[in-house]
Amino acid sequence: MTLRGRAASAVMLAWCLIAMPVRAQDGIEAPRLAGTVLEDSASPFGPVDLSDKDIRLIILPAVKGPFNASDAADFEKYYYFRRDNTDVRTAFADISECDGYARGLRSNLPNNYSYYYGVGGLVGGAIGSLMSEAIIGSALKREARRQTMRTCMAFKGYDRHGVSKKVWQYFNFEEGLTAVPDGERRRRLLQQAAVAARTPAIGEVLAP
């Protein structure tokens, strides 16, 4: 992603966090979606295109415990979001918005080869950067995505609850350097929205 693209993503995220309160201060009523819990936390992009048939066709995974110590050790990676009094459409709008911010992330590893080794270093650095990106960049991007999703969904009032990796894989995806196809992404996000709206709280609420 170019510097301009990264700046655009940052501006969009900032708009998510501050634009709605500013509008309220200006005396303009902010649009609200059914099920919104926190004031001004609804998606600024409005309702999503989701039919009743789409909702009926969602395969809701069985999210249940108990979990062992090994599962609990990985709750930083494997979890689900939920919020009381939330419908699937609202949850899908929220998750899709947060996914949009996380999708624009790209890991940036430093490349100083050309500075120290000239033209030869530039070629070697390009190869080294590709290797570093493949080995390290993918993990960094996955971690950045998790942090962005957690921050964004916490702002919207969703709690985070841990699940086992086996259960998590039924309705989530990991995205490193290779993008998840749009159809698969939408299917998984719909499942996450259904879980957020319909699954009871299991275990303690985790830190955002």
Structural domain including 159 reads 3-198
Looking at residue 32, its pLDDT comes to 43
Q: Is residue 80 part of a domain?
A: yes
3-class SS shares of the chain: helix, strand, coil, % to 5: 55, 5, 40
Q: Is residue 204 part of a domain?
A: no
Looking at residue 185, its pLDDT comes to 95
Is residue 44 within 8 Å of residue 93, measured between CB atoms? Answer: no
Q: Is residue 158 part of a domain?
A: yes
pLDDT in tens, 158-207: 999 999 999 999 999 988 778 889 999 999 999 999 999 999 999 999 99
Looking at residue 114, its pLDDT comes to 44
CA-CA distances (angstroms) from residue 124 to 11, 108, 111, 117, 185? Answer: 35, 17, 10, 9, 36
Regions of the chain short of the pLDDT cut 50: 1-35, 106-117, 119-125
Number of domains forming the structure of the chain: 1
Looking at residue 23, its pLDDT comes to 36
